[in-house]
Structure 1
Amino acid sequence: MKSLHIALTALGAVFLSLGVPESAQAQFRTPVVDGASSLAEYGNQYASPNGDDPNLLWRMTWDDNNLYVAVQEANLQEGTALYIDTDPQTPVNVGGGNVLKGYPVFSINGNLPIQADVYIYIEKFYREYRIYNKESGQWGPAQEWGKPLEADKNIGQYADNGGADGERWSSQEPETNFPGTIKEFSLPWSRISTTLARPKNFNWFGYNIYGFDPISLEPFIPNPIRGGIYGQVPRDNESSFRFNDVGDGRYEDYNWTRYFTVLNTDTEGATTAFGPNGLDSYAHTGPLTSTLQSISVYDFTLNTAGALITRTGDGDGSIWNIQNNLTVASNSTLNFGSTTAPVIVGGDVLVVGEGTLRYPVAAGTLRVGRNIRLATGNSLLVNAGVTLTGAGAQTISTDNSAPVDFRLLTVQDAGVKTIASNLDIREALIINNGILSTGANEVRLRGSARLTENATGYLLGRVSTSALITNTPGATSDFGGIGLRITQRGNDLPGNIDVLRITGGRGLLQSGTQNAPLQTIARRFFINNNPTNNSGTNVTLEFTYRDIPPTELNGNSESQLRLYESNNIISDPVNGYQLVTPSSSSVPSPETNTLTYTGPLRLNRYFSLADGTTPLPVELISFTGKVEGNNVRLNWATASELQNKGFEIEQRTDLSEWKTIGFVKGNGTTNQRNNYTYLDRSATAGVNNYYRLRQIDLDGKSVYSQPVTVQLRGTGPVAFSVSPVPTTDILTLNGLGAGKHVAEIYNARGQRVMSQEFNDSAPATLSVRALPVGVYMVRVLDANRSVKNARFIKQ
């Protein structure tokens, strides 16, 4: 290892393209290590020329047992180095802001962009690899491999086209160097992979070394004050020479920032060794303050403690295009500066570990294809517009559930976008396509911010805003476009009004108050003007709803819609909506999807719409099931009936379809409560039994109830059921048995959201009114520590 780089050149050499790597076919293959390589043999190649070596290129492939590499047009007696991370993590480099150092060769070293597990060194007369010990933070001892007479053939192979290995290069003339241009080698995965087998994916980079050896006494080595690297992959890594002006013979460390990601090494899905779509990745290694203009990479990582990267330039020369993930961590800051050129991220934006992402210019755009995950709400400080561009599901979340602030947020493509914390919008939220789902969280329109929902875009959940209606005749507000307008009438002064819009779910009408459908449309407004104002404020209220998918009508007839209000001001009531009278003041307009109400309103209520005139055939107020011996007893009750012929009882299990098992005659037309019962003697033991009612009118029209579930265990008639499913308010637990019980409810994330104790075997009830719409698991633990489970849907 005693040489200074003397370039191999060839007259008339053809320069290889510096575009994407050349590829022949699938990556997974087994080449012959013989010192002669080709694109057809390896399946892909990557050019990394410099002025002296215009044809230098790398080839890489693998199979189940080995990694194969060939380097062409590099000096055989100079070193080739590779660093490989066989178990990539996020962030890709060392956590905590520390930078991993490479292993020094010829006193040449640098900061690594990846958490390398193995360092490999290759030259004609010497080969070694070293494993990084993460516990000690040191590179392990040298493991020599690929020796010509190596008895253990499982420690790798080496070959070149430079002649007999026994002939030392130093016996040649230095001006001509050792003949040959190709070095080729293989190493078994069992030696270099953390899994001791072919890794599922890996990151890597490499380079060729020339340098001054301070130990050498060779008289023909010229220029002993400089050395460096060349033929680096990716080629945007630092290269060229470094002056050796330090007394102990050390060069200034390189800051290697580029690496390749191999996404998949499987036989069928193997991807190129030189980055997805020919793109390398970037991970910052220094200095602490730096600038970047345009960049196009697969992944981008800034994870150096205290580092600041600022984007400079403008126009096309400063566009950032990150095909996969953008990560900022470890108290570092990425500032996109004052340029208006877009930042395009195809994957996730991850700002974690006290990192900060800034984009101060309002005319800029940050486009995100997948999720936005932040450590806190202050991790993302953007005045630029943010656009969610993914065609599938996307999530915006903070690790501490703090709110996230956006000036302008646009949902551009289809799919469900979910927020896991509150969003504050300063200017506009635009939903062009897809659904933005808030769950229990809230979009808060600040100041004059507005919501825009196009025909194919929808906000499902909660959005709030405020407006001041001044003491001016005809003063009005549309509350940021959320679907509500209030206009002052007469001398009444509404003043400041807070409004919360809730979409999804439903409100239930008060039992027996009107011959009308049981449920409101799937849009409610909580209007909070003056909690003590019960006499009513004279206004014109315009209530806009949606009748295209996802429709909010919930079966209500548009032409018969009337305004309903809650009978109290508790948080999001699902029961107790009553008709606002006189109903003639409600004027529906199906053509514009709007209902207009003119008159006094108590502006401290929830408001919604429902069909105010269509008579109910049957008002079903309960439907339950329980085990009775080896049978299942079904009980239900009605508050009123209109031309009710009766009820068909239908049953199924998890493995069967619905079938009719019985019929119970109805009571025709009545305003009295009626109780019904049916005993199923053919219930299936050991599985869930599902039951529903098909209520049939005298004219043959019918409607189905929601199903109930009863569980019969195979060893006997012990059963557990919950009803009704879905539920909007009360969940009944049947089949608890005697003794003390603890009921717990878990959401879809596995988080416990409710817990309650019971001390008898009577059917127990849980109030789930406050739970957000969704799917839940109820888990009941009895005194004997046995567990009963059931799922239910909260509407």
Structure 2
Amino acid sequence: NESAEVNPLTFGWLRAIAGSNAWALETNGYRNADLTANTADSLYPQSGSTFFLFNSYNAPAGTRTILYSNCFNLPTASTGMQFDISFWMSHDTSYANDRDSLYLVISTDRGQTWNRIQGFQRYDPLFTIPNWKVENISLLAYAGQTIQIGFEGVSKFGNIIGLDNIVVRANAALPVTFASFTGKTDGTSNVLNWTTANEQNNQGFEVLRSTDGRSFSKIGFVASTHETTTRTTSYSFTDKNAASATNYYRLKQLDKDGKSSYSSVVVLRRGGRKLEIANIYPNPTVDVLNAVISSDKEEKVTLAIVDIAGRVITSQQVTTTLGSVNVSFNIKSLSKGTYFIKLINTSTSETQTERFIKQ
């Protein structure tokens, strides 16, 4: 289910730039030999019956393969115009560590050279079943140019990467910009909180829930406070019927004219982790990254900043307390790009990873 709204994109060409080709078009579900027979472990399309698959598990470590489109023209942008690309990505659950990478790449010279625009790793190392997450990247810098869009998979012989529902859009200014979307458990309920940076012609938000990360259903609606505003606005919704051990949530934003868009996915586990990164801020950041670590006891943990290739840039040893502690990193010297903050439980080796952008 790959589509575009500017010009049709044909992701039919595969190019191996080092090692063997690892991209393929997958029909229905995929499960490698190391996963159990439980079909919940399989990687299914985000929607429809097909998706692109970067088979890093079968590709030698170091394989770099680009899946790319034909050339197409982005129109010259008028005032208020936005160009962006959205896509859904996922991974299987073969390994618990971040290994493989996916980069959005752009070529302006008909595929002779490729520039990495943004990089991504696995969505959540603690997922026991695969889940999909939508990513949105601006293409406004390429307005008025002839470009090719590609997805570069880099294998470290780790997790299968899924790619689905690739859409290139030319729109006026986005009706709603999500600044944050978080959730927490509260007794027998799950509480969702989100903020918007701006709203234009916004009717409100449908709250969607899933127990498998694939099939979502509406459980509530929250009306827009202002409909149109440039101020930061906060919203909240309490799910009092969260019976499942694991619940996936996302928001469907509805415009007055009938158009819609989706937020990222929040995962809440009943009786979930007792040690976790509760929050990181600001994100994106320029010089300082703050992390809030919550715990139910005193224990030693490691916090590390790692790059997209998994290399540790800096780390701190932290002793938690009952409640939460705040840890700050000076990242002013880091180059602009995508990084990860990783929490490592020294005694159990359990990890949690959160992504942030250095501007």
Please, what TM-score do these two structures have when normalized by structure 1?
0.24
Q: Which structure: larger Rg?
A: 1
Return the structure number with greater relative CO, CA threshold 8 A, min gap 6.
Answer: 2
Q: Judging by fraction of residues, say which structure has more strand.
A: 2
